[in-house]
Amino acid sequence: MTQQSAFAAPGSTAPHSAEGPGSAAAPAARPRIALVGVHGFGERHLANLARLEASGAVELVAVADPNPPQDGKLAGAVAVFATLDQLLAAGPAPDVVILATPIQTHAPLALSALAAGCDVYVEKPPVASMAQFQEVAAAAEASGKLVQVGFQSIGSLALPAIRRSIESGEIGEVLGLSAQGMWLRTKGYFKRSRWAGKRSLEGTDVVDGVATNALAHAVATGLHMAGAHTVADVASVETDLYRANNTQSDDTSVIRVKTAAGQTLLCGLTLCAPEQQNPSVTVHGTNGEITFFYTEDQVVTTTAAGERRETFGRTDLLENLLAARNAGAPLLCGLADTGAFTSVLEAIRTAPDPQEIGAEHITWEGEGDDAHPVVHGIPKLIERAAKAQATFAELGVPWARSLPPVRTLELAGHTVADYQDGSRIRTVSSPRPYLHPVRTLAGTVVTDHQPLDHVWHLGVGVALQDVDGVSFWGGRTYTRAAGEYVWRPDHGTIVRTEQRSPAGQSPGANRLAESLSWNGPDGAPLLTEQRTWTWAAAGSSAWRLTLDFALSPAGDHPVSLGSPGSNGRHQGGYGGFFWRLPECSGATVWTPGATGETNTGEAAVHGSVTPWLAWSGNFSTEKSDDGADASTDASGPGHGSASSGGPATLVFVASEGSTDPWFVRVDGYPGVGQSLAWDAPVIAEPGAPVRRSVSIYIADGILGTEDVETLIRTQGDNS
């Protein structure tokens, strides 16, 4: 049998040919399919083609692979070639060419198939660069042929159902989307081919990686659910790429995409999980969320009414391509609709090489080629990144890239705190300036920011939940009308407008004075603030941080400063100065008592008005809940040394005559504040700023009451 006779059905009619006038209608010919790449994922295509061929829908006429399939794998009539070029040269051209080949071959093979007049089904990712995407798209348009991309999840019938649910308002307004993928891959996975784990191979782009190949469906599905299909649908792509394996490509990464329509998709992906989990995409709404487990076509909708689980069918993308050829049905995953994904791929291709994750943050499990790395705490880190819409670097993960702070606070060669301007914080967390990390002189970190339990908690700073109805706290808002916390589009932003140097002091002195504007969701200023941080040594093992701030109406009218407590939540009067602590074992919190004894524990000190409040405990080097080092120097090279963690005591000292109660949380989360509006709003009048001041002693070691009072007495208070 010649190659041509094996490759062409005698007497067949090309699907797009027209019958001559007056001729009898010929029987519709089955589309003739050629498969390029029969191993790996190509084996799934062979199984699917066998299914379709058995139903009479297609005819597999040829395959191409330099490594021929095993004897008996194909029907005798199927021609076998080493390359697509040989296959096409044997003629006539097949109707559809399926490409299940290495990433770097997709574009050149697709161009060859299109030039031969074939429709194309190409596996993901469709190409290895934006330039290739544009070249293939132009060739498809010029030839009038179709290109379907093998993101099978896009064929799920769950997607239109999710879209209808969102449009119905079932989960309220969409706050954002997150894609989470936690798989494990062994050393053997990266040995399966020359291109595996490569960013490039012999000068040719490959762009293999967790987001572009292994868990590319998570990215593509997330983009689809976010309404981002074409290149024009993407406003920006930010990458944060890391690797635990000895590869070129990333295996643990965060990708943040902002769409032209204003949505944010945060993709947290790893191949270094402790165990394989089903990947998912979640739409987060003000009244609930929808999670799509795309490998199972299962949708879980969670609202106040409860949880609903549904499983859907799926349209096979090859069958969809055949329907598009025969009846003009729209392609479910045409090349143009993968432009958004290609924008992500291009951002990864052009990003710096992934940063290696240090061996101290990895545990290897298994032996030989079955060994695989596990990044410590990676499931919780990915969950935290998704919830905060933040990168690993922004979270201050110890193995992540260092992001330089706006300024560092230093004492005698020690970096004791970093000043962050809040510009990287998501909108619904009320972006604002804050200090984090704050350290003892020995280097133990005693603040947290964007923790999983409250991602809008930001180190040390000033925040209020109700400023004339605008939240400068973040998260849900407690309203008297609802009697509970609800999501509202009420989040403001606090921005620095000026850094001031007090008279007689240089900008480098131990003082940071600034003017801030508290702007509503529309950008209009509600308050102006004068804020001053000062810091000084307080002996050999402690230092003092003082915060002074004054809030004034930005206009000519009074402004109400409120809290959940002033809006009806019992003992929920937080707002004003707030310090979020990291995880702390053996925590003790106490205040001085009226008779010389102390009041100890959250119940005893929460809501009390006392001259000082102390917190002591052991701040360990690694947080148990998310694997992030709570005491890691996040300021980068040259800004101090990494901490060993250890015991520390914080002493919060109220200004003389202060009547603001202490707000304290120990069990639910660790935090201390001084309530500006405990159970009633405070009114800021034009020309009469609302002023507050508090000092905090940050000491290494566990101090007792006598130590605390000696420290305050000998170092001075904040009067």
65 to each of 59, 85, 106, how far by Cα in Å? 18, 11, 14
Percent of the residues in the chain that have a pLDDT greater than 70, as a whole number:
91
How confident is the model at residue 28, as a pLDDT?
A: 58
Assess whether pLDDT exceeds 50 at residue 632.
Answer: no
Assess whether pLDDT exceeds 90 at residue 22.
Answer: no
3-class secondary-structure state, position 99: strand
What token pair was written down for 2? 């010649």
Please tell me the least confidently modeled range out of 27-36, 572-581, 629-638. Answer: 629-638
Q: Count Cβ atoms within 10 A of the Cβ of residue 163 and give its class: 0-12 exposed, 13-18 middle, 19 or more buried.
A: middle
> What is the tens place of the pLDDT at every residue in 514-566?
999 999 999 999 999 999 999 999 999 999 999 999 999 999 999 999 999 99
Helix 130-143 to helix 106-115 angle (10° resolution) is 10
Please tell me the least confidently modeled range out of 22-31, 137-146, 308-317, 627-636. Answer: 627-636
Which of residues 90 and 14 earns the better pLDDT score?
90
Looking at this protein, which amino acid is placed at residue 589? Answer: V
Given pLDDT bands bounded at 50, 70 and 90, which one contains residue 142? very high
How confident is the model at residue 145, as a pLDDT?
A: 98
Given pLDDT bands bounded at 50, 70 and 90, which one contains residue 715? confident
Please tell me the least confidently modeled range out of 14-23, 78-87, 346-355, 607-616. Answer: 14-23
CA distance 365 to 516: 51
Looking at this protein, which amino acid is placed at residue 670? Answer: P
Assess whether pLDDT exceeds 80 at residue 45.
Answer: yes
How confident is the model at residue 1, as a pLDDT?
A: 31
How confident is the model at residue 645, as a pLDDT?
A: 73
Given pLDDT bands bounded at 50, 70 and 90, which one contains residue 352? very high
Helix (H) or strand (E) holding 175: strand 174-182
How confident is the model at residue 509, as a pLDDT?
A: 78
Mean pLDDT in residue range 93-114: 98
Please tell me the least confidently modeled range out of 266-275, 287-296, 461-470, 497-506. Answer: 497-506
CA distance 297 to 157: 8
Looking at this protein, which amino acid is placed at residue 218? Answer: A
Determine contact, residues 642/650, Cβ cutoff 8 Å.
no
Residue 476's nearest CA partner among 468, 466, 486, 484 is 486
> What is the tens place of the pLDDT at every residue in 573-597?
999 999 999 999 999 999 998 777 8
Given pLDDT bands bounded at 50, 70 and 90, which one contains residue 640? very low
Q: Which residues contact 394 (CB under 8 A, 6 or more apart)?
A: 388, 403, 424, 450
> What is the tens place of the pLDDT at every residue in 679-698?
999 999 999 999 999 999 99
> What is the tens place of the pLDDT at every residue in 418-430?
999 999 999 999 9
Residue 452's nearest CA partner among 362, 378, 386, 375 is 386
Phi, psi of 297 (to 5 degrees): 55, 35
Mean pLDDT in residue range 66-71: 90
Helix 216-225 to helix 158-167 angle (10° resolution) is 40
Mean pLDDT in residue range 474-478: 98
430 to each of 434, 548, 573, how far by Cα in Å? 12, 21, 18
Under DSSP, the state recorded for 690 is E
Assess whether pLDDT exceeds 70 at residue 5.
Answer: no
How confident is the model at residue 7, as a pLDDT?
A: 43
CA within 13 Å, CB half, 717? 15
Q: What angle do CA 106, 111, 112 make, to 5 degrees?
A: 100
Q: In Å, how far from its chain's centre is CA 357?
A: 18
Q: Which residues contact 322 (CB under 8 A, 6 or more apart)?
A: 31, 57, 58, 96
Given pLDDT bands bounded at 50, 70 and 90, which one contains residue 73? confident
Please tell me the least confidently modeled range out of 147-151, 364-368, 633-637. Answer: 633-637
Task: Tell me the average pLDDT of the chain.
Answer: 92
Please tell me the least confidently modeled range out of 315-329, 390-404, 589-603. Answer: 589-603
Please tell me the least confidently modeled range out of 348-352, 643-647, 663-667. Answer: 643-647
| Full-model pTM | 0.92
Assess whether pLDDT exceeds 50 at residue 391.
Answer: yes
